[in-house]
Amino acid sequence: MTGELFLDHSTSKLTQMTGYIDACVRKLDPDQIWDRAHPAQNSIGNLVLHLSGNVRQWIGSSIGGQPDIRQRDREFAPDSRIASSELLQTLHLTVSQAITILKNLPPDRLTEIVSTQDGDRSVLEVIYQVVGHFQQHAGQIIFETKRLTGEDLKFYLTLPLRQA
């Protein structure tokens, strides 16, 4: 039961964060999506490409057995600019495939050791790393979208403060 809860929560978080990223990208014009305020900073577009590559490699390949086709350097290259629709299509397709893998994953595989770009890891650790990594970069994308638009994206309801 614990394994099923972990897998359900992981797919829920990937779905939620993908929705947030989608909403952010749709609020921005192409120049905003691909802007780098500083050479050491990644654009929102590069972060989306990076998340797609990471999910495809770690879940698709390491857990799902798909071929590893990742080109990590291209994810961060300033000239990797693609249309917003293609960017979102890539993200949605990648996350959808990963969710399918996770929904069909028997919980007893969570302790199985698989190979990743960083060495051998348990399937549970791979999923935990991917979801945390995804949330980290989703937060960066949300922050940058708020900065660029000056808008409250209203992803979270404001709850009344409890009286102590």
pLDDT value for 38 = 87
Number of domains making up the chain: 1
The DSSP-derived string for 76-130 is: H-TT----HHHHHHHHHHHHHHHHHHHHT--GGGGG-EEEETTEEEEHHHHHHHH
User: In which residue ranges of the chain is pLDDT below 70?
Assistant: 157-164
Q: What is the pLDDT, as a whole number, of residue 144?
A: 96
For residue 131, tell me if it sits in a domain: yes
H or E stretch covering 20? helix 2-27
Residue 45 maps to a domain? yes
List pLDDT tens digits, range 33-73: 999 988 888 999 999 999 999 999 999 999 999 999 999 88
Both tokens of 145, joined, read 């979208």
CATH number at residue 137: 1.20.120.450
Q: Answer yes or no: is 160 within a domain.
A: no
> Rounded to two decimals, what is the model's pTM?
0.93
Q: How far apart are CA 21 and CA 110, in angstroms?
A: 28
Residue 154 lies in a domain: no
* Domain boundaries, position 53: 2-149
Enclosing H/E stretch for 148? helix 123-149
> In the prediction, which pLDDT does 124 show?
98
Q: What is the pLDDT of residue 78?
A: 87
